[in-house]
Chain A
Amino acid sequence: DADVTQTPRNRITKTGKRIMLECSQTKGHDRMYWYRQDPGLGLRLIYYSFDVKDINKGEISDGYSVSRQAQAKFSLSLESAIPNQTALYFCATSEKGTGTDTQYFGPGTRLTVL
């Protein structure tokens, strides 16, 4: 089984709809992240969380919100989706104090906003 899972894997929605993307991990990591990937732009950080009570905005947080329901779960919400939020969304995890702080990525959610 995958260590970092994301649901749904694909989603098509309409402008103005509320959307939630979910991320779960079995790695036992304390840090979790949400990124979006757009063609030619690499990955950009939306939000990150170092533990359940520590949530921080990333580079492009406008239009998004997050919830860290438990150490293993980190959800990303689009309160009112707009077409320029069409992108590939990745959740990632890492563990503090490992020395490398390598981030491990989920399989991604492809979101299309019409």
Chain B
Amino acid sequence: ELKVEQNPLFLSMQEEKNYTIYCNYSTTSDRLYWYRQDPGKSLESLFVLLSNGAVKQEGRLMASLDTKARLSTLHITAAVHDLSATYFCAVGGGSQGNLIFGKGTKLSVKP
């Protein structure tokens, strides 16, 4: 059974600081997704990582994938308030085509 674990589940950051969210998954997968969810809103796709060593960057967010360690990281550089949201990683690519989500990391960036 594929399981996805994120940590931390809650993260309170100060502006301009750096931090990393970790996503571990239990079995082999060929796709790793990061989504963002603002309070009361839908999920927005941020990154899709398809191969070992893949790195994607968008603004202050950078995601990477290590398939051997079954680990993805979402690194936040110089956090700003606008990044406050809940971030989910999800793993997919199996025959069913569905995604298994982590529980999410609620990020709060404070001045």
Q: Which residues of A contact B (CB under 8 A)?
A: 31, 33, 40-45, 48, 50, 56, 58, 90, 94, 96, 99-108
Contacts and interface: CB of A to CB of B under 8 A. Distances in A.
Interface in B1-57: 9, 31, 33, 35, 41-45, 48, 50
Contacts of B9: 40
Contacts, number: 52
A94 B88 contact: no
B35 to A, nearest CB: 8
Given A42-B104, A99-B50, A101-B93, A106 B98 contact: no
Interface of B: 9, 31, 33, 35, 41-45, 48, 50, 88, 90, 92-93, 96-99, 101-104
Contact of A33 (B50, B88, B98): B98
Contact of B31 (A31, A56, A90, A100): A100
27 contacts: A31-B97, A33-B98, A40-B9, A42-B101, A42-B102, A43-B101, A48-B97, A48-B98, A50-B97, A56-B96, A58-B98, A90-B42, A90-B43, A94-B97, A96-B97, A99-B50, A100-B31, A100-B50, A101-B97, A102-B45, A103-B99, A104-B45, A106-B42, A107-B41, A107-B42, A108-B41, A108-B42
Contacts of B90: 43
Contacts of A31: 97
B55 to A, nearest CB: 16
Contacts of A50: 97
A100 B99 contact: no
A73 to B, nearest CB: 18
A43 B48 contact: no
